[in-house]
Structure 1
Amino acid sequence: MNKLMVVATCMAMAGCASVNTAVVPDDPEFAPVYPEDVAVEARITGSLFTENGANNLYSDKKAHRIGDIIVVTLAERTQASKSASNELAKDKNLNLNQITVPGGVATINGNPIELGLSQSSDFTGEADAAQSNSLNGNISVNVVQVLANGNLIISGEKWLMLNNGNEYIRLTGIIRPEDVAPDNSITSLRIANARIQYGGTGDFANTTNQGWLSKFFNGPVWPF
């Protein structure tokens, strides 16, 4: 009875650990960031030209402030392969001829004393692994923080509502303002410390996931 209680407790703990937190829209971590209103000082200059409202001749409209929008072009592609093989062979033979003593060959019960030993071992191992992933598309994100060195922290998400569930893309990372194109776009390959999530919710996503009990039996804690 005690063993059954221990097994049941382990199964319950594994089930609780394997249940993932549901992904839902409007997560505060990916909420859009709006720029703060800055009070504009009224300055009477007697001229139609105001320095605060003018753009430099060489300036552009690229995103560089908190709340600005940047379009990220997803161009992720990874491919990995690995192959290994190993062969090992070993043979060993040991023979001890008949032992001779003064007067002839040593015997036991009339049988000559001799010894023979033979050993052989072979080992062959081979392993192959291959993996390929790709993700293409676009997502618009916000600048959520401007670092001291001028780099920008971006974050954003996109949700698509389908008949049997939703699909989402979430992205966070750090970019350089110099890598932003004039049309306020940047490729995902130029995002440092990128965190890109692509998944789904609903019936389609649930059918591709194992239940918590199946995960327990297929997990490392199952002793058999």
Structure 2
Amino acid sequence: MASSITDVYSMFDTSIVSDALDKHDIDGVITGLPPAAPAQTTVGRAHTMRFELVDDPGERTNFPYAMLNELREDRVLVIDGVGPDISCWGGNASRLAENAGVAGMVIDGGYRDIPEIREGSFPVFARQPTPKSGQRRLTVEAVGEPLKIDGVTVNPDDLVVADATGVVVVPAEKAAEVAETAEATLREELLVERKIETGATVADLQGDDHEF
């Protein structure tokens, strides 16, 4: 059976995908959203969501259930939060997302319960930790609309690849083309690694016109 596009992208780290995007003149790199634990990675199609601050903090809002009802199997939930000082996510949300088969979280905002998330296996990438709850402070304003994070547009169904180096977004309509380029880039990278392991010098690599 043919591999899905997400299976193909699971072969690549973010550096390989970023290099492939460069060759297509696409800027899809988001920095400053580290994983809760260094080994966490995620690959999947984006399911987008945007939050806003409520006008009258203290009253009940649609958060968090409007968010939790949008957990989708094999998707990366990408959230445009209101800022790093208010939590959009926590330990129990991670457990629910893992149970639902969600691929991972990318949050342009704060999150909390860091020890629990680090001990678990569900990958969370976010701006920074904060203990301040989003309940009664946040509202879910939009689901399934384009977002802009650090100048990078994230559309529903775009491919998201995230690891300790960063977060990379591949436009859905370019995913197959970029994957082909990433496969060629990975082959070149592995060739350079093998040459170095067998004693190649800088002069050898330069003479063979390798890029790395």
**Bin of the TM-score, shorter chain as denominator length:** under 0.3
Structure number with higher helix proportion: 2
Q: What TM-score comes out, normalization by structure 2 length? A: 0.26
Look at both structures and tell me which one has the larger radius of gyration over its CA atoms: 1
Structure number with higher strand proportion: 1
Q: What TM-score comes out, normalization by structure 1 length? A: 0.25
